[in-house]
Amino acid sequence: MNILLLGSGGREHAFAWKLSQCANLGNLYIAPGNAGTAQCGENVDLNPLDFDAVLAFCQEKKIDLILPGNEDPLVAGIVDYMQVHGIAVAGPDQYAATLEGSKDFAKAFMMRHGVPTAAYRSFNADNLHEGKTFLTTMAPPYVLKADGLAAGKGVIITEDLAEAQAVLDDMIAGAKFGKASSTVVIEEFLHGIEISCFAVSDGQTWRMLGSAKDYKRIGEGDTGPNTGGMGAISPVPFANEAFMQKVAERIAGPSFEGMKKEGHPFKGFLFMGLMNCGGEPKVIEYNVRMGDPETEALFPRLRVNMVDLVNAIANGGLESVVMDMDPRTAATVFLVSAGYPGDIEKGKPMLIPEAGAQTHFFHAGTKLTAEGVVTNGGRVLAITSLSQDMALAAEISLHAAEEVKYEGKNYRRDIGKDLLKLQHESI
Ligand code: AMP
Ligand code: GLY
Protein backbone atom coordinates (compact mmCIF):
# COMPACT_ATOMS: atom_id res chain seq x y z
CA MET A 1 0.00 0.00 0.00
CA ASN A 2 1.37 3.42 -1.02
CA ILE A 3 0.73 6.12 1.57
CA LEU A 4 1.02 9.91 1.55
CA LEU A 5 1.38 11.30 5.08
CA LEU A 6 0.65 15.01 5.53
CA GLY A 7 2.56 17.10 8.08
CA SER A 8 6.01 17.83 9.43
CA GLY A 9 5.97 17.47 13.22
CA GLY A 10 7.06 14.91 15.79
CA ARG A 11 3.65 13.28 15.46
CA GLU A 12 4.25 12.72 11.77
CA HIS A 13 7.69 11.24 12.39
CA ALA A 14 6.05 8.85 14.91
CA PHE A 15 3.45 7.88 12.27
CA ALA A 16 6.12 7.46 9.59
CA TRP A 17 8.24 5.32 11.95
CA LYS A 18 5.30 3.02 12.76
CA LEU A 19 4.31 2.75 9.10
CA SER A 20 7.86 2.00 7.98
CA GLN A 21 7.91 -1.12 10.20
CA CYS A 22 5.03 -2.73 8.29
CA ALA A 23 5.78 -5.40 5.70
CA ASN A 24 2.66 -4.36 3.75
CA LEU A 25 3.85 -0.76 3.28
CA GLY A 26 4.67 0.08 -0.33
CA ASN A 27 6.04 3.57 -0.87
CA LEU A 28 5.74 6.17 1.86
CA TYR A 29 5.79 9.87 1.02
CA ILE A 30 5.66 12.65 3.58
CA ALA A 31 4.57 16.19 2.71
CA PRO A 32 6.49 18.19 3.67
CA GLY A 33 8.14 16.05 6.38
CA ASN A 34 11.35 16.68 8.31
CA ALA A 35 14.82 15.13 8.73
CA GLY A 36 13.29 12.26 10.74
CA THR A 37 10.55 11.33 8.28
CA ALA A 38 13.22 11.33 5.54
CA GLN A 39 14.63 8.19 7.23
CA CYS A 40 11.27 6.41 6.88
CA GLY A 41 10.17 7.44 3.40
CA GLU A 42 10.54 10.19 0.83
CA ASN A 43 9.81 13.79 1.76
CA VAL A 44 7.96 15.75 -0.91
CA ASP A 45 7.57 19.45 -1.30
CA LEU A 46 3.77 19.68 -1.33
CA ASN A 47 1.41 22.00 0.51
CA PRO A 48 -1.17 19.75 2.27
CA LEU A 49 -3.81 22.45 1.82
CA ASP A 50 -3.35 22.62 -1.95
CA PHE A 51 -5.79 19.79 -2.67
CA ASP A 52 -5.35 19.99 -6.46
CA ALA A 53 -1.59 19.52 -6.10
CA VAL A 54 -2.06 16.72 -3.56
CA LEU A 55 -4.47 14.96 -5.93
CA ALA A 56 -2.12 15.28 -8.90
CA PHE A 57 0.70 13.82 -6.79
CA CYS A 58 -1.52 10.91 -5.67
CA GLN A 59 -2.45 10.10 -9.24
CA GLU A 60 1.14 10.27 -10.43
CA LYS A 61 2.53 8.10 -7.60
CA LYS A 62 -0.42 5.71 -7.36
CA ILE A 63 -1.15 6.61 -3.75
CA ASP A 64 -3.68 4.29 -2.11
CA LEU A 65 -4.24 6.31 1.02
CA ILE A 66 -3.70 9.81 2.39
CA LEU A 67 -3.06 10.15 6.12
CA PRO A 68 -3.43 13.73 7.43
CA GLY A 69 -1.42 14.26 10.62
CA ASN A 70 -2.92 17.56 11.67
CA GLU A 71 -6.36 19.12 11.57
CA ASP A 72 -6.00 21.76 8.88
CA PRO A 73 -6.59 19.57 5.79
CA LEU A 74 -9.40 17.70 7.60
CA VAL A 75 -11.23 20.87 8.64
CA ALA A 76 -10.71 22.22 5.10
CA GLY A 77 -12.50 19.12 3.74
CA ILE A 78 -9.77 16.94 2.24
CA VAL A 79 -11.82 13.78 2.84
CA ASP A 80 -14.85 15.04 0.89
CA TYR A 81 -12.63 16.43 -1.88
CA MET A 82 -10.64 13.21 -2.37
CA GLN A 83 -13.72 11.01 -2.15
CA VAL A 84 -14.99 12.55 -5.37
CA HIS A 85 -11.71 11.49 -7.00
CA GLY A 86 -11.68 7.99 -5.51
CA ILE A 87 -8.73 8.47 -3.17
CA ALA A 88 -9.05 7.09 0.36
CA VAL A 89 -8.19 9.35 3.29
CA ALA A 90 -7.74 8.11 6.85
CA GLY A 91 -9.67 10.83 8.64
CA PRO A 92 -13.12 12.28 9.34
CA ASP A 93 -15.15 14.11 6.71
CA GLN A 94 -15.54 17.87 6.91
CA TYR A 95 -18.77 17.72 8.92
CA ALA A 96 -17.23 15.42 11.56
CA ALA A 97 -14.00 17.47 11.57
CA THR A 98 -16.08 20.46 12.67
CA LEU A 99 -15.82 18.91 16.16
CA GLU A 100 -12.39 20.54 16.13
CA GLY A 101 -13.06 23.35 13.65
CA SER A 102 -15.84 24.97 15.68
CA LYS A 103 -16.10 25.01 19.47
CA ASP A 104 -19.72 26.16 19.21
CA PHE A 105 -20.52 23.15 16.99
CA ALA A 106 -18.68 20.82 19.38
CA LYS A 107 -20.56 22.14 22.42
CA ALA A 108 -23.96 21.86 20.69
CA PHE A 109 -23.02 18.33 19.54
CA MET A 110 -22.16 17.32 23.12
CA MET A 111 -25.47 18.72 24.35
CA ARG A 112 -27.37 16.79 21.65
CA HIS A 113 -25.70 13.52 22.62
CA GLY A 114 -25.37 13.88 26.39
CA VAL A 115 -21.56 14.03 26.47
CA PRO A 116 -20.38 15.55 29.79
CA THR A 117 -18.80 18.99 29.32
CA ALA A 118 -18.78 22.44 30.96
CA ALA A 119 -22.03 24.45 30.81
CA TYR A 120 -21.80 27.16 28.15
CA ARG A 121 -23.42 29.79 25.95
CA SER A 122 -22.27 31.20 22.62
CA PHE A 123 -22.31 34.83 21.57
CA ASN A 124 -21.70 36.82 18.38
CA ALA A 125 -22.14 40.39 17.10
CA ASP A 126 -25.94 40.07 17.38
CA ASN A 127 -25.98 39.39 21.11
CA LEU A 128 -22.62 40.76 22.27
CA HIS A 129 -24.30 42.96 24.88
CA GLU A 130 -26.15 39.95 26.30
CA GLY A 131 -22.80 38.15 26.51
CA LYS A 132 -21.38 40.87 28.74
CA THR A 133 -24.41 40.61 31.03
CA PHE A 134 -24.14 36.81 30.98
CA LEU A 135 -20.57 37.09 32.31
CA THR A 136 -21.87 38.93 35.40
CA THR A 137 -23.98 35.85 36.23
CA MET A 138 -20.95 33.54 36.13
CA ALA A 139 -18.43 32.80 38.85
CA PRO A 140 -14.77 33.51 38.06
CA PRO A 141 -12.48 32.39 36.53
CA TYR A 142 -14.12 33.27 33.20
CA VAL A 143 -13.37 31.03 30.22
CA LEU A 144 -13.75 32.56 26.74
CA LYS A 145 -13.06 30.55 23.60
CA ALA A 146 -12.85 31.71 20.01
CA ASP A 147 -15.15 29.43 18.03
CA GLY A 148 -12.77 28.69 15.16
CA LEU A 149 -9.19 27.47 14.79
CA ALA A 150 -6.80 30.00 16.30
CA ALA A 151 -3.50 28.09 16.35
CA GLY A 152 -4.01 27.03 19.98
CA LYS A 153 -4.26 30.65 21.18
CA GLY A 154 -8.03 31.12 21.09
CA VAL A 155 -8.77 30.39 24.76
CA ILE A 156 -8.60 33.20 27.31
CA ILE A 157 -9.10 32.59 31.04
CA THR A 158 -9.26 35.49 33.47
CA GLU A 159 -10.33 36.07 37.08
CA ASP A 160 -11.38 39.63 36.36
CA LEU A 161 -14.94 40.37 35.20
CA ALA A 162 -14.13 43.72 33.53
CA GLU A 163 -11.25 42.07 31.68
CA ALA A 164 -13.47 39.17 30.60
CA GLN A 165 -16.00 41.66 29.21
CA ALA A 166 -13.26 43.59 27.41
CA VAL A 167 -11.87 40.34 25.95
CA LEU A 168 -15.34 39.36 24.73
CA ASP A 169 -15.64 42.75 23.06
CA ASP A 170 -12.17 42.48 21.57
CA MET A 171 -12.82 38.97 20.24
CA ILE A 172 -16.19 39.71 18.63
CA ALA A 173 -16.20 43.43 17.78
CA GLY A 174 -12.40 43.79 17.52
CA ALA A 175 -11.92 40.51 15.60
CA LYS A 176 -9.01 39.58 17.91
CA PHE A 177 -8.65 36.20 16.19
CA GLY A 178 -10.16 37.29 12.88
CA LYS A 179 -13.14 35.27 11.70
CA ALA A 180 -12.31 32.56 14.27
CA SER A 181 -13.62 34.81 17.07
CA SER A 182 -16.76 36.19 15.40
CA THR A 183 -18.49 33.66 17.63
CA VAL A 184 -17.26 33.12 21.20
CA VAL A 185 -18.09 30.30 23.60
CA ILE A 186 -18.25 31.33 27.25
CA GLU A 187 -18.12 28.34 29.55
CA GLU A 188 -17.98 27.22 33.13
CA PHE A 189 -14.46 26.82 34.54
CA LEU A 190 -13.69 23.19 35.29
CA HIS A 191 -11.47 22.38 38.27
CA GLY A 192 -9.28 19.32 38.00
CA ILE A 193 -6.35 17.78 36.14
CA GLU A 194 -6.21 17.71 32.37
CA ILE A 195 -5.70 14.52 30.43
CA SER A 196 -5.72 13.57 26.75
CA CYS A 197 -7.55 10.37 25.80
CA PHE A 198 -7.58 8.78 22.37
CA ALA A 199 -9.87 6.51 20.41
CA VAL A 200 -10.01 5.34 16.81
CA SER A 201 -12.97 4.46 14.61
CA ASP A 202 -13.66 3.18 11.11
CA GLY A 203 -17.17 4.65 11.23
CA GLN A 204 -18.72 1.41 12.44
CA THR A 205 -16.65 0.09 15.32
CA TRP A 206 -14.29 1.98 17.59
CA ARG A 207 -11.51 1.23 20.07
CA MET A 208 -9.85 3.18 22.86
CA LEU A 209 -6.16 3.97 22.30
CA GLY A 210 -5.14 5.02 25.79
CA SER A 211 -4.19 8.17 27.63
CA ALA A 212 -1.40 10.72 27.82
CA LYS A 213 -0.64 13.92 29.66
CA ASP A 214 0.70 16.89 27.77
CA TYR A 215 2.93 19.55 29.39
CA LYS A 216 1.82 22.74 27.66
CA ARG A 217 3.70 25.54 29.42
CA ILE A 218 7.25 26.48 28.51
CA GLY A 219 8.50 26.63 32.10
CA GLU A 220 9.06 24.03 34.79
CA GLY A 221 6.25 23.79 37.34
CA ASP A 222 3.79 24.72 34.55
CA THR A 223 4.83 28.36 34.32
CA GLY A 224 5.15 30.84 31.47
CA PRO A 225 3.40 30.94 28.11
CA ASN A 226 1.67 28.05 26.37
CA THR A 227 3.55 26.05 23.75
CA GLY A 228 2.66 23.30 21.31
CA GLY A 229 3.66 20.88 24.10
CA MET A 230 6.95 20.40 25.97
CA GLY A 231 6.59 16.74 26.87
CA ALA A 232 4.18 13.94 27.65
CA ILE A 233 3.61 10.90 29.83
CA SER A 234 1.65 7.84 28.69
CA PRO A 235 -0.29 6.21 30.25
CA VAL A 236 -1.40 8.68 32.92
CA PRO A 237 -1.27 6.99 36.35
CA PHE A 238 -4.62 8.35 37.56
CA ALA A 239 -6.35 7.17 34.37
CA ASN A 240 -7.01 3.76 35.88
CA GLU A 241 -9.40 1.18 34.49
CA ALA A 242 -12.45 2.71 36.19
CA PHE A 243 -11.65 6.18 34.83
CA MET A 244 -10.94 4.92 31.30
CA GLN A 245 -14.19 2.96 31.38
CA LYS A 246 -16.07 6.18 32.12
CA VAL A 247 -14.25 7.88 29.23
CA ALA A 248 -15.22 5.03 26.90
CA GLU A 249 -18.85 4.74 28.03
CA ARG A 250 -19.75 8.37 28.59
CA ILE A 251 -17.58 10.17 26.04
CA ALA A 252 -16.09 8.07 23.24
CA GLY A 253 -19.17 5.86 22.75
CA PRO A 254 -21.78 8.66 22.64
CA SER A 255 -19.47 10.78 20.44
CA PHE A 256 -19.05 8.06 17.80
CA GLU A 257 -22.74 7.08 18.04
CA GLY A 258 -23.70 10.75 17.78
CA MET A 259 -21.77 11.25 14.53
CA LYS A 260 -23.33 8.07 13.14
CA LYS A 261 -26.82 9.36 13.99
CA GLU A 262 -26.03 12.66 12.31
CA GLY A 263 -25.15 10.84 9.11
CA HIS A 264 -21.38 11.34 9.28
CA PRO A 265 -19.84 8.25 10.88
CA PHE A 266 -16.51 9.33 12.34
CA LYS A 267 -13.54 7.71 10.61
CA GLY A 268 -10.26 8.60 12.21
CA PHE A 269 -8.47 9.31 15.44
CA LEU A 270 -10.51 11.12 18.08
CA PHE A 271 -8.57 13.12 20.66
CA MET A 272 -10.65 13.84 23.75
CA GLY A 273 -9.14 16.68 25.77
CA LEU A 274 -10.64 16.05 29.22
CA MET A 275 -10.69 17.45 32.71
CA ASN A 276 -10.66 14.85 35.47
CA CYS A 277 -13.10 16.53 37.86
CA GLY A 278 -12.74 14.39 41.00
CA GLY A 279 -12.84 11.15 39.01
CA GLU A 280 -15.49 12.38 36.54
CA PRO A 281 -14.22 13.06 33.02
CA LYS A 282 -15.61 16.13 31.24
CA VAL A 283 -14.71 17.27 27.72
CA ILE A 284 -12.69 20.47 27.33
CA GLU A 285 -12.20 20.02 23.61
CA TYR A 286 -12.26 17.52 20.79
CA ASN A 287 -9.50 17.19 18.23
CA VAL A 288 -10.04 15.08 15.15
CA ARG A 289 -6.46 13.75 14.90
CA MET A 290 -3.75 12.48 17.19
CA GLY A 291 -2.04 14.89 19.61
CA ASP A 292 1.47 16.25 19.42
CA PRO A 293 3.45 15.40 21.62
CA GLU A 294 1.02 12.74 22.91
CA THR A 295 1.58 10.59 19.81
CA GLU A 296 5.33 10.51 20.42
CA ALA A 297 4.62 9.03 23.88
CA LEU A 298 1.76 6.73 22.86
CA PHE A 299 2.99 5.18 19.62
CA PRO A 300 6.12 3.52 21.03
CA ARG A 301 3.69 1.69 23.37
CA LEU A 302 1.14 0.81 20.69
CA ARG A 303 1.61 -2.64 19.19
CA VAL A 304 -0.22 -2.64 15.88
CA ASN A 305 0.42 -2.89 12.18
CA MET A 306 -0.07 0.83 11.45
CA VAL A 307 -0.75 0.25 7.75
CA ASP A 308 -3.63 -2.07 8.72
CA LEU A 309 -4.91 0.46 11.24
CA VAL A 310 -4.99 3.47 8.91
CA ASN A 311 -6.35 1.32 6.09
CA ALA A 312 -9.17 0.19 8.40
CA ILE A 313 -9.97 3.81 9.29
CA ALA A 314 -10.49 4.64 5.63
CA ASN A 315 -11.89 1.37 4.29
CA GLY A 316 -13.42 -0.44 7.29
CA GLY A 317 -12.39 -3.63 9.11
CA LEU A 318 -11.18 -2.14 12.40
CA GLU A 319 -12.69 -5.08 14.31
CA SER A 320 -10.09 -7.42 12.82
CA VAL A 321 -7.03 -5.23 13.48
CA VAL A 322 -4.93 -6.77 16.24
CA MET A 323 -3.87 -4.13 18.68
CA ASP A 324 -2.47 -3.91 22.19
CA MET A 325 -0.38 -1.71 24.42
CA ASP A 326 3.04 -2.11 25.98
CA PRO A 327 2.24 -1.75 29.70
CA ARG A 328 5.40 0.27 30.34
CA THR A 329 5.26 4.03 30.80
CA ALA A 330 6.58 6.35 28.11
CA ALA A 331 8.09 9.73 29.02
CA THR A 332 8.62 12.27 26.24
CA VAL A 333 10.84 15.32 26.64
CA PHE A 334 10.67 17.91 23.86
CA LEU A 335 13.84 19.81 22.99
CA VAL A 336 13.04 23.30 21.71
CA SER A 337 14.88 26.30 20.27
CA ALA A 338 16.02 29.30 22.34
CA GLY A 339 13.24 31.88 22.52
CA TYR A 340 10.41 29.41 21.85
CA PRO A 341 7.41 29.96 21.97
CA GLY A 342 8.43 33.46 20.87
CA ASP A 343 10.83 34.30 18.05
CA ILE A 344 13.46 31.70 17.31
CA GLU A 345 16.43 31.26 15.00
CA LYS A 346 16.55 28.28 12.66
CA GLY A 347 19.44 26.53 10.97
CA LYS A 348 21.51 25.54 14.02
CA PRO A 349 23.63 22.45 13.23
CA MET A 350 22.61 19.45 15.33
CA LEU A 351 24.48 16.52 16.78
CA ILE A 352 22.16 13.63 17.46
CA PRO A 353 23.73 10.48 18.97
CA GLU A 354 22.38 6.95 18.48
CA ALA A 355 19.30 6.40 20.63
CA GLY A 356 19.60 3.82 23.42
CA ALA A 357 17.57 0.60 23.37
CA GLN A 358 14.66 2.07 25.38
CA THR A 359 14.70 5.46 23.65
CA HIS A 360 13.26 6.93 20.45
CA PHE A 361 14.08 10.25 18.82
CA PHE A 362 11.20 11.83 16.92
CA HIS A 363 12.15 14.79 14.78
CA ALA A 364 9.89 17.85 14.64
CA GLY A 365 11.53 21.15 13.58
CA THR A 366 14.56 19.64 11.85
CA LYS A 367 15.81 19.69 8.30
CA LEU A 368 18.31 17.63 6.38
CA THR A 369 20.88 19.79 4.56
CA ALA A 370 24.12 19.06 2.73
CA GLU A 371 25.89 19.93 6.01
CA GLY A 372 23.76 17.52 8.04
CA VAL A 373 20.68 17.95 10.24
CA VAL A 374 19.87 21.51 11.36
CA THR A 375 17.10 22.99 13.51
CA ASN A 376 14.09 24.21 11.56
CA GLY A 377 11.45 25.29 14.08
CA GLY A 378 10.44 26.00 17.67
CA ARG A 379 9.94 22.42 18.76
CA VAL A 380 12.93 20.47 17.52
CA LEU A 381 13.17 16.90 18.79
CA ALA A 382 10.89 14.71 20.95
CA ILE A 383 12.76 12.15 23.04
CA THR A 384 10.70 9.23 24.33
CA SER A 385 11.91 6.52 26.71
CA LEU A 386 10.08 3.51 28.06
CA SER A 387 10.34 1.94 31.48
CA GLN A 388 8.21 0.08 34.02
CA ASP A 389 8.87 3.09 36.20
CA MET A 390 7.68 6.57 35.16
CA ALA A 391 10.46 8.42 36.99
CA LEU A 392 13.08 6.20 35.37
CA ALA A 393 11.55 6.66 31.91
CA ALA A 394 11.78 10.44 32.37
CA GLU A 395 15.35 10.16 33.65
CA ILE A 396 16.44 8.16 30.59
CA SER A 397 14.89 10.77 28.27
CA LEU A 398 16.59 13.58 30.20
CA HIS A 399 19.92 11.81 29.95
CA ALA A 400 19.47 11.52 26.17
CA ALA A 401 18.42 15.20 26.07
CA GLU A 402 21.83 16.14 27.47
CA GLU A 403 23.58 14.19 24.72
CA VAL A 404 21.82 15.97 21.85
CA LYS A 405 23.72 19.11 20.94
CA TYR A 406 22.70 22.33 19.21
CA GLU A 407 22.96 26.00 20.04
CA GLY A 408 20.08 27.31 22.16
CA LYS A 409 18.73 23.91 23.26
CA ASN A 410 16.03 24.22 25.93
CA TYR A 411 13.76 21.65 27.60
CA ARG A 412 11.77 21.00 30.75
CA ARG A 413 13.35 18.75 33.35
CA ASP A 414 10.15 18.16 35.33
CA ILE A 415 8.10 16.02 32.93
CA GLY A 416 6.06 13.57 35.04
CA LYS A 417 7.09 15.03 38.41
CA ASP A 418 3.58 16.33 39.15
CA LEU A 419 2.11 12.88 38.46
CA LEU A 420 4.65 11.25 40.72
CA LYS A 421 3.64 13.62 43.51
CA LEU A 422 -0.04 12.84 42.89
CA GLN A 423 0.70 9.12 42.97
CA HIS A 424 2.39 9.45 46.34
CA GLU A 425 -0.40 11.63 47.71
CA SER A 426 -3.08 9.14 46.75
CA ILE A 427 -1.25 6.21 48.36
P1 AMP B 1 -8.25 24.42 24.46
O2 AMP B 1 -7.66 25.26 23.40
O3 AMP B 1 -9.73 24.22 24.34
O4 AMP B 1 -7.47 23.16 24.70
O5 AMP B 1 -8.05 25.23 25.82
C6 AMP B 1 -6.78 25.65 26.23
C7 AMP B 1 -6.60 25.38 27.70
O8 AMP B 1 -7.50 26.16 28.47
C9 AMP B 1 -6.92 23.95 28.07
O10 AMP B 1 -5.85 23.12 27.82
C11 AMP B 1 -7.23 24.10 29.53
O12 AMP B 1 -6.04 24.14 30.29
C13 AMP B 1 -7.90 25.43 29.62
N14 AMP B 1 -9.35 25.31 29.62
C15 AMP B 1 -10.16 25.27 28.53
N16 AMP B 1 -11.45 25.17 28.91
C17 AMP B 1 -11.47 25.15 30.25
C18 AMP B 1 -12.50 25.06 31.23
N19 AMP B 1 -13.78 25.01 30.89
N20 AMP B 1 -12.14 25.05 32.53
C21 AMP B 1 -10.85 25.13 32.89
N22 AMP B 1 -9.82 25.22 32.02
C23 AMP B 1 -10.12 25.25 30.71
N1 GLY C 1 -1.08 18.29 22.48
C2 GLY C 1 -2.19 19.06 22.09
C3 GLY C 1 -2.54 18.97 20.67
O4 GLY C 1 -2.00 18.17 19.92
O5 GLY C 1 -3.41 19.72 20.26
Ranges in the chain annotated CATH 3.30.1490.20: 119-187
Q: Can you state the angle between helices 128-136 and 161-172, rounded to 10 degrees? A: 160
Domain 193-422 coded CATH 3.30.470.20: yes
Span from the CA of 216 to the centroid of ligand 2 (angstroms): 9
- Atom 4 of ligand 2, residue of closest alpha carbon: 291
8 Å CB contact between 308 and 281: no
Tens-digit pLDDT profile for the chain (427 aa)? 999 999 999 999 999 999 999 999 999 999 999 999 999 999 999 999 999 999 999 999 999 999 999 999 999 999 999 999 999 999 999 999 999 999 999 999 999 999 999 999 999 999 999 999 999 999 999 999 999 998 878 999 999 999 999 999 999 999 999 999 999 999 999 999 999 999 999 999 999 999 999 999 999 999 999 999 999 999 999 999 999 999 999 999 999 999 999 999 999 999 999 999 999 999 999 999 999 999 999 999 999 999 999 999 999 999 999 999 999 999 999 999 999 999 999 999 999 999 999 999 999 999 999 999 999 999 999 999 999 999 999 999 999 999 999 999 999 999 999 998 887 665 4
Span from the CA of 157 to the centroid of ligand 1 (angstroms): 8
- Atom 8 of ligand 1, residue of closest alpha carbon: 155
Ranges in the chain annotated CATH 3.30.470.20: 193-422
Rounded distance between C-alpha atoms, residue 211 and residue 224, angstroms: 25
- In ligand 1, the atom with minimum distance to the C-alpha of 118 is 19
Q: Is the CB of 285 under 6 A from ligand 1?
A: yes
Q: Is the CB of 277 under 6 A from ligand 1?
A: no
Give the angle 423-426-427 at the CA atoms, nearest 5°.
85
Span from the CA of 49 to the centroid of ligand 1 (angstroms): 27
Mutate-to-test residue for ligand 2 from 149, 233, 287, 334, highest number of ligand atoms within 8 A of CB: 287
Please, what CATH class does the domain formed by 3-99 belong to?
alpha beta
Element holding 19 (H helix, E strand):
helix 10-20
Q: What does each C-alpha distance from 260 to 58, 100, 288 come to in angstroms?
A: 29, 17, 15
Span from the CA of 125 to the centroid of ligand 1 (angstroms): 23
User: What is the end-to-end Cα distance of the chain in Å, rounded?
Assistant: 49
Question: How long is the chain?
Answer: 427
Mutate-to-test residue for ligand 2 from 271, 274, 285, 379, highest number of ligand atoms within 8 A of CB: 271
Among the bound ligands, the one closest to the CA of 180: 1
CA 120 to chain centroid: 23
CATH superfamily of 119-187: ATP-grasp fold, A domain (3.30.1490.20)
- Atom 3 of ligand 2, residue of closest alpha carbon: 291
Rounded distance between C-alpha atoms, residue 383 and residue 216, angstroms: 16
Rounded distance between C-alpha atoms, residue 109 and residue 397, angstroms: 40
pTM as predicted = 0.96
Span from the CA of 229 to the centroid of ligand 2 (angstroms): 7
Ranges in the chain annotated CATH 3.40.50.20: 3-99
